[in-house]
Amino acid sequence: MAQSITRQSTELRMSTFRLARRLRLENTDDDLSESQFGVLAVLNRFGPHTLSQLAERERVTAPSMNRTVNFLQERGYLRREADAADGRRSNIVITPEGAVTVRATIDKRDAWLTSRMRDLTLEEREALAAASLIMDRLASE
Amino acid sequence: MAQSITRQSTELRMSTFRLARRLRLENTDDDLSESQFGVLAVLNRFGPHTLSQLAERERVTAPSMNRTVNFLQERGYLRREADAADGRRSNIVITPEGAVTVRATIDKRDAWLTSRMRDLTLEEREALAAASLIMDRLASE
DNA sequence: TATTGTTATACTCTATAACTATA
DNA sequence: TATAGTTATAGAGTATAACAATA
Protein backbone atom coordinates (compact mmCIF):
# COMPACT_ATOMS: atom_id res chain seq x y z
CA MET A 1 0.00 0.00 0.00
CA ALA A 2 1.12 3.53 -0.70
CA GLN A 3 2.47 5.64 2.13
CA SER A 4 0.30 8.41 3.49
CA ILE A 5 0.62 11.78 1.83
CA THR A 6 1.92 13.21 5.09
CA ARG A 7 4.66 10.62 5.26
CA GLN A 8 5.52 11.24 1.61
CA SER A 9 5.76 14.94 2.14
CA THR A 10 8.01 14.51 5.19
CA GLU A 11 10.28 12.20 3.22
CA LEU A 12 10.42 14.57 0.28
CA ARG A 13 11.28 17.49 2.52
CA MET A 14 14.06 15.64 4.32
CA SER A 15 15.48 14.20 1.12
CA THR A 16 15.44 17.62 -0.51
CA PHE A 17 17.43 19.17 2.33
CA ARG A 18 19.88 16.29 2.51
CA LEU A 19 20.59 16.41 -1.19
CA ALA A 20 20.91 20.20 -1.11
CA ARG A 21 23.49 19.93 1.69
CA ARG A 22 25.35 17.19 -0.13
CA LEU A 23 25.41 19.19 -3.36
CA ARG A 24 26.59 22.32 -1.58
CA LEU A 25 29.44 20.32 -0.10
CA GLU A 26 30.57 19.37 -3.58
CA ASN A 27 30.83 23.01 -4.64
CA THR A 28 33.44 24.27 -2.24
CA ASP A 29 36.21 24.87 -4.76
CA ASP A 30 33.83 26.51 -7.19
CA ASP A 31 33.76 30.24 -7.80
CA LEU A 32 29.97 30.38 -8.03
CA SER A 33 27.57 29.40 -5.28
CA GLU A 34 24.47 27.44 -6.12
CA SER A 35 22.29 30.55 -5.94
CA GLN A 36 24.64 32.55 -8.12
CA PHE A 37 24.84 29.81 -10.69
CA GLY A 38 21.08 29.37 -10.67
CA VAL A 39 20.52 33.00 -11.69
CA LEU A 40 23.09 32.86 -14.45
CA ALA A 41 21.63 29.62 -15.78
CA VAL A 42 18.14 31.11 -15.90
CA LEU A 43 19.35 34.20 -17.79
CA ASN A 44 21.32 32.01 -20.16
CA ARG A 45 18.43 29.74 -20.91
CA PHE A 46 15.39 32.01 -20.74
CA GLY A 47 16.79 35.45 -21.59
CA PRO A 48 16.61 38.81 -19.76
CA HIS A 49 14.64 39.21 -16.54
CA THR A 50 13.93 42.06 -14.17
CA LEU A 51 15.10 41.78 -10.58
CA SER A 52 11.62 40.92 -9.35
CA GLN A 53 11.19 38.25 -11.97
CA LEU A 54 14.45 36.61 -10.96
CA ALA A 55 13.56 36.81 -7.28
CA GLU A 56 10.20 35.19 -7.90
CA ARG A 57 11.58 32.44 -10.11
CA GLU A 58 14.36 31.54 -7.68
CA ARG A 59 12.11 31.80 -4.64
CA VAL A 60 14.06 34.44 -2.75
CA THR A 61 13.28 38.01 -1.70
CA ALA A 62 14.23 41.03 -3.79
CA PRO A 63 17.07 42.13 -1.46
CA SER A 64 18.59 38.66 -1.61
CA MET A 65 18.42 38.62 -5.37
CA ASN A 66 19.82 42.14 -5.54
CA ARG A 67 22.87 40.96 -3.63
CA THR A 68 23.36 37.99 -5.93
CA VAL A 69 22.93 40.15 -9.03
CA ASN A 70 25.44 42.68 -7.70
CA PHE A 71 27.98 39.95 -7.20
CA LEU A 72 27.52 38.62 -10.71
CA GLN A 73 27.64 42.12 -12.17
CA GLU A 74 30.92 42.87 -10.40
CA ARG A 75 32.33 39.69 -11.90
CA GLY A 76 31.18 40.82 -15.35
CA TYR A 77 28.80 37.90 -15.82
CA LEU A 78 25.71 40.04 -16.36
CA ARG A 79 24.74 43.66 -16.87
CA ARG A 80 21.75 45.83 -16.03
CA GLU A 81 20.15 47.62 -18.98
CA ALA A 82 17.86 50.55 -18.22
CA ASP A 83 14.30 49.86 -19.28
CA ALA A 84 13.22 52.40 -21.91
CA ALA A 85 9.58 52.39 -20.84
CA ASP A 86 9.92 52.31 -17.04
CA GLY A 87 12.72 54.11 -15.25
CA ARG A 88 12.37 52.01 -12.13
CA ARG A 89 13.13 48.78 -13.90
CA SER A 90 16.25 47.39 -15.37
CA ASN A 91 16.58 44.37 -17.56
CA ILE A 92 19.22 41.99 -16.41
CA VAL A 93 21.12 40.39 -19.26
CA ILE A 94 23.83 37.75 -19.27
CA THR A 95 27.14 38.74 -20.88
CA PRO A 96 29.21 36.53 -23.19
CA GLU A 97 31.59 35.94 -20.27
CA GLY A 98 28.61 34.88 -18.19
CA ALA A 99 27.47 32.43 -20.82
CA VAL A 100 30.93 30.90 -21.04
CA THR A 101 30.99 30.61 -17.28
CA VAL A 102 27.62 28.84 -17.19
CA ARG A 103 28.90 26.26 -19.63
CA ALA A 104 32.19 25.77 -17.78
CA THR A 105 30.47 25.62 -14.41
CA ILE A 106 28.01 23.00 -15.59
CA ASP A 107 30.83 20.90 -16.95
CA LYS A 108 32.86 21.18 -13.79
CA ARG A 109 30.16 21.01 -11.22
CA ASP A 110 28.08 18.30 -12.76
CA ALA A 111 31.02 15.94 -12.71
CA TRP A 112 29.91 14.65 -9.33
CA LEU A 113 26.14 14.49 -9.75
CA THR A 114 26.24 13.40 -13.38
CA SER A 115 28.62 10.64 -12.52
CA ARG A 116 26.35 9.50 -9.69
CA MET A 117 23.40 9.63 -12.06
CA ARG A 118 25.20 7.48 -14.60
CA ASP A 119 25.17 4.70 -12.03
CA LEU A 120 21.38 4.81 -11.90
CA THR A 121 19.09 2.87 -14.18
CA LEU A 122 17.30 4.62 -17.01
CA GLU A 123 14.05 4.32 -15.07
CA GLU A 124 15.59 5.93 -12.00
CA ARG A 125 16.92 8.84 -14.03
CA GLU A 126 13.56 9.34 -15.63
CA ALA A 127 11.92 9.27 -12.21
CA LEU A 128 14.25 12.06 -11.12
CA ALA A 129 13.62 14.06 -14.29
CA ALA A 130 9.88 13.77 -13.74
CA ALA A 131 10.31 14.71 -10.08
CA SER A 132 12.33 17.81 -10.99
CA LEU A 133 9.41 19.19 -12.94
CA ILE A 134 6.95 18.45 -10.16
CA MET A 135 9.28 19.95 -7.56
CA ASP A 136 9.47 23.16 -9.58
CA ARG A 137 5.70 23.30 -9.70
CA LEU A 138 5.49 22.76 -5.95
CA ALA A 139 8.07 25.48 -5.36
CA SER A 140 6.25 27.98 -7.52
CA GLU A 141 3.05 27.97 -5.48
CA MET B 1 14.17 11.49 -26.83
CA ALA B 2 15.32 11.66 -23.24
CA GLN B 3 17.33 14.65 -22.07
CA SER B 4 21.05 14.22 -21.60
CA ILE B 5 22.21 13.10 -18.20
CA THR B 6 24.05 16.39 -17.79
CA ARG B 7 20.89 18.35 -18.44
CA GLN B 8 18.95 16.12 -16.08
CA SER B 9 21.48 16.61 -13.33
CA THR B 10 21.44 20.40 -13.78
CA GLU B 11 17.66 20.41 -13.59
CA LEU B 12 17.62 18.21 -10.53
CA ARG B 13 20.14 20.41 -8.77
CA MET B 14 18.28 23.63 -9.51
CA SER B 15 14.92 22.13 -8.59
CA THR B 16 16.33 20.81 -5.35
CA PHE B 17 17.62 24.21 -4.31
CA ARG B 18 14.45 26.00 -5.35
CA LEU B 19 12.26 23.63 -3.40
CA ALA B 20 14.57 23.83 -0.38
CA ARG B 21 14.32 27.64 -0.41
CA ARG B 22 10.57 27.50 -0.83
CA LEU B 23 10.21 25.03 2.03
CA ARG B 24 12.45 27.07 4.29
CA LEU B 25 10.26 30.09 3.63
CA GLU B 26 7.25 28.17 4.85
CA ASN B 27 8.91 27.41 8.18
CA THR B 28 9.43 30.88 9.52
CA ASP B 29 6.97 30.72 12.38
CA ASP B 30 8.15 27.30 13.42
CA ASP B 31 10.26 26.71 16.49
CA LEU B 32 12.45 24.10 14.80
CA SER B 33 14.57 24.69 11.73
CA GLU B 34 14.65 22.12 9.00
CA SER B 35 18.01 20.79 10.18
CA GLN B 36 16.88 20.57 13.78
CA PHE B 37 13.70 18.80 12.83
CA GLY B 38 15.59 16.41 10.57
CA VAL B 39 17.74 15.20 13.45
CA LEU B 40 14.81 14.72 15.77
CA ALA B 41 12.87 12.85 13.09
CA VAL B 42 15.78 10.47 12.51
CA LEU B 43 16.15 9.74 16.22
CA ASN B 44 12.42 9.24 16.53
CA ARG B 45 12.21 6.85 13.64
CA PHE B 46 15.50 4.98 13.73
CA GLY B 47 16.53 5.15 17.39
CA PRO B 48 19.73 6.34 19.12
CA HIS B 49 22.73 7.53 17.11
CA THR B 50 26.18 8.82 17.96
CA LEU B 51 27.11 12.33 16.90
CA SER B 52 29.15 11.05 13.97
CA GLN B 53 26.35 8.84 12.79
CA LEU B 54 23.93 11.74 12.80
CA ALA B 55 26.41 13.99 11.00
CA GLU B 56 26.96 11.40 8.32
CA ARG B 57 23.30 10.68 7.84
CA GLU B 58 22.31 14.32 7.59
CA ARG B 59 25.32 15.22 5.42
CA VAL B 60 26.85 17.86 7.66
CA THR B 61 30.15 18.07 9.53
CA ALA B 62 30.53 16.99 13.15
CA PRO B 63 30.81 20.56 14.50
CA SER B 64 27.60 21.53 12.69
CA MET B 65 25.79 18.55 14.09
CA ASN B 66 27.18 19.23 17.55
CA ARG B 67 25.64 22.69 17.43
CA THR B 68 22.28 21.30 16.36
CA VAL B 69 22.35 18.59 19.03
CA ASN B 70 23.25 21.16 21.71
CA PHE B 71 20.26 23.25 20.73
CA LEU B 72 17.90 20.28 20.89
CA GLN B 73 19.39 19.15 24.20
CA GLU B 74 18.88 22.60 25.75
CA ARG B 75 15.26 22.43 24.65
CA GLY B 76 14.93 19.02 26.31
CA TYR B 77 14.14 17.21 23.07
CA LEU B 78 17.04 14.76 23.32
CA ARG B 79 19.69 13.65 25.78
CA ARG B 80 23.23 12.31 25.57
CA GLU B 81 23.82 8.99 27.30
CA ALA B 82 27.40 8.02 28.05
CA ASP B 83 28.47 4.94 26.13
CA ALA B 84 29.43 2.18 28.55
CA ALA B 85 32.00 0.66 26.23
CA ASP B 86 33.67 3.77 24.80
CA GLY B 87 34.16 6.91 26.88
CA ARG B 88 34.55 9.13 23.82
CA ARG B 89 31.11 8.35 22.52
CA SER B 90 27.70 9.25 23.68
CA ASN B 91 24.46 7.86 22.44
CA ILE B 92 21.97 10.50 21.52
CA VAL B 93 18.42 9.60 22.42
CA ILE B 94 15.16 11.38 21.80
CA THR B 95 13.10 12.25 24.90
CA PRO B 96 9.34 11.87 25.22
CA GLU B 97 9.05 15.64 24.80
CA GLY B 98 11.09 15.34 21.63
CA ALA B 99 8.84 12.66 20.24
CA VAL B 100 5.76 14.75 20.95
CA THR B 101 7.42 17.69 19.23
CA VAL B 102 8.22 15.62 16.14
CA ARG B 103 4.60 14.65 15.82
CA ALA B 104 3.33 18.20 16.38
CA THR B 105 5.89 19.68 14.02
CA ILE B 106 5.01 17.27 11.25
CA ASP B 107 1.34 18.09 11.63
CA LYS B 108 1.95 21.81 11.61
CA ARG B 109 4.70 22.05 9.06
CA ASP B 110 3.36 19.62 6.55
CA ALA B 111 0.19 21.61 6.21
CA TRP B 112 1.67 23.48 3.29
CA LEU B 113 3.53 20.73 1.44
CA THR B 114 0.94 18.05 2.14
CA SER B 115 -1.78 20.31 0.89
CA ARG B 116 0.21 21.03 -2.29
CA MET B 117 0.77 17.30 -2.70
CA ARG B 118 -2.91 16.56 -2.41
CA ASP B 119 -3.39 18.57 -5.60
CA LEU B 120 -1.10 16.20 -7.47
CA THR B 121 -2.18 13.03 -9.18
CA LEU B 122 -1.45 9.68 -7.59
CA GLU B 123 1.20 9.06 -10.25
CA GLU B 124 2.89 12.35 -9.50
CA ARG B 125 2.99 11.63 -5.79
CA GLU B 126 4.44 8.20 -6.45
CA ALA B 127 7.06 9.75 -8.72
CA LEU B 128 8.06 12.05 -5.86
CA ALA B 129 8.13 9.19 -3.36
CA ALA B 130 10.36 7.18 -5.69
CA ALA B 131 12.56 10.21 -6.26
CA SER B 132 12.95 10.79 -2.49
CA LEU B 133 14.55 7.39 -2.12
CA ILE B 134 16.88 7.93 -5.06
CA MET B 135 17.82 11.39 -3.80
CA ASP B 136 18.77 9.91 -0.43
CA ARG B 137 20.97 7.37 -2.16
CA LEU B 138 22.63 10.10 -4.21
CA ALA B 139 23.18 12.17 -1.08
CA SER B 140 24.77 9.31 0.79
CA GLU B 141 27.61 8.79 -1.68
C1' DT C 1 48.71 7.33 16.96
C1' DA C 2 43.89 7.36 15.60
C1' DT C 3 39.25 8.45 16.67
C1' DT C 4 35.28 10.94 18.83
C1' DG C 5 33.64 14.89 20.16
C1' DT C 6 34.05 19.86 21.17
C1' DT C 7 35.28 24.88 20.94
C1' DA C 8 36.58 29.01 18.35
C1' DT C 9 35.98 31.56 14.45
C1' DA C 10 34.43 33.17 10.05
C1' DC C 11 31.69 33.09 5.94
C1' DT C 12 27.52 32.67 2.94
C1' DC C 13 22.82 33.07 2.23
C1' DT C 14 18.75 34.66 3.59
C1' DA C 15 15.21 37.67 5.70
C1' DT C 16 12.83 42.04 7.47
C1' DA C 17 12.64 46.93 7.79
C1' DA C 18 13.45 51.29 6.05
C1' DC C 19 14.50 54.13 2.19
C1' DT C 20 14.78 56.21 -2.85
C1' DA C 21 13.17 56.92 -7.29
C1' DT C 22 9.74 56.44 -10.63
C1' DA C 23 4.92 55.56 -12.15
C1' DT D 1 -0.36 56.18 -3.51
C1' DA D 2 1.77 52.12 -5.39
C1' DT D 3 5.64 49.71 -7.33
C1' DA D 4 10.70 48.46 -8.50
C1' DG D 5 14.75 48.47 -6.68
C1' DT D 6 18.23 49.32 -3.07
C1' DT D 7 20.65 49.78 1.48
C1' DA D 8 21.21 48.53 6.31
C1' DT D 9 21.13 45.16 9.56
C1' DA D 10 20.60 40.78 11.80
C1' DG D 11 20.10 35.79 12.18
C1' DA D 12 20.62 30.93 10.90
C1' DG D 13 23.40 27.31 9.18
C1' DT D 14 27.49 25.74 7.65
C1' DA D 15 32.57 25.01 7.25
C1' DT D 16 37.64 24.68 8.64
C1' DA D 17 41.11 24.67 12.14
C1' DA D 18 42.61 23.71 16.54
C1' DC D 19 41.97 21.27 20.79
C1' DA D 20 40.67 17.61 24.55
C1' DA D 21 39.69 13.13 25.93
C1' DT D 22 39.75 8.37 25.16
C1' DA D 23 41.00 4.10 22.60
A9-39 confidence digits (pLDDT tens): 989 999 999 999 998 888 766 689 989 999 9
Cβ B66 to strand D below 7 Å: no
Q: What pTM, to 2 d.p., does this model score?
A: 0.88
The answer to whether residues A137 and B20 touch, using CB atoms and an 8 Å cutoff, is no
Cβ A25 to strand D below 7 Å: yes
Give the H or E element holding residue A137: helix A122-139
How long is the CA A87 to C1' C22 vector, in angstroms?
A: 6
Cβ A57 to strand C below 7 Å: no
Calculate ∠ Cα B70-B108-B79, nearest 5°: 20
User: Of the candidates A44, A47, A39, which has an alpha carbon nearest to the alpha carbon of residue A71?
Assistant: A39
**Which of A100-109, A132-141, B65-74: highest mean pLDDT?**
B65-74
Contact B10/A at CB under 8 A: yes
The answer to whether residues A91 and A83 touch, using CB atoms and an 8 Å cutoff, is yes
Query: B131, A126: Cβ pair inside 8 Å?
Result: no
Give the pLDDT confidence score for residue B122 in this predicted structure: 95
Kindly indicate the confidence band of residue B25, based on its pLDDT and cuts at 50, 70 and 90: confident
Question: 3-state class of B48 per DSSP?
Answer: coil
Q: Which residue is nearest to nucleotide C20 (CA to C1')?
A: A88
Question: 3-state class of B75 per DSSP?
Answer: coil
Kindly indicate the confidence band of residue A2, based on its pLDDT and cuts at 50, 70 and 90: low
Residues 19-48 of A with CB under 8 A from B: 19-23, 25, 34-35, 38, 41
* pLDDT exceeds 80 at position B109: no
Q: How far is CA A118 from CA A135, B9, B109, in A?
A: 21, 10, 35
* pLDDT exceeds 70 at position A3: yes
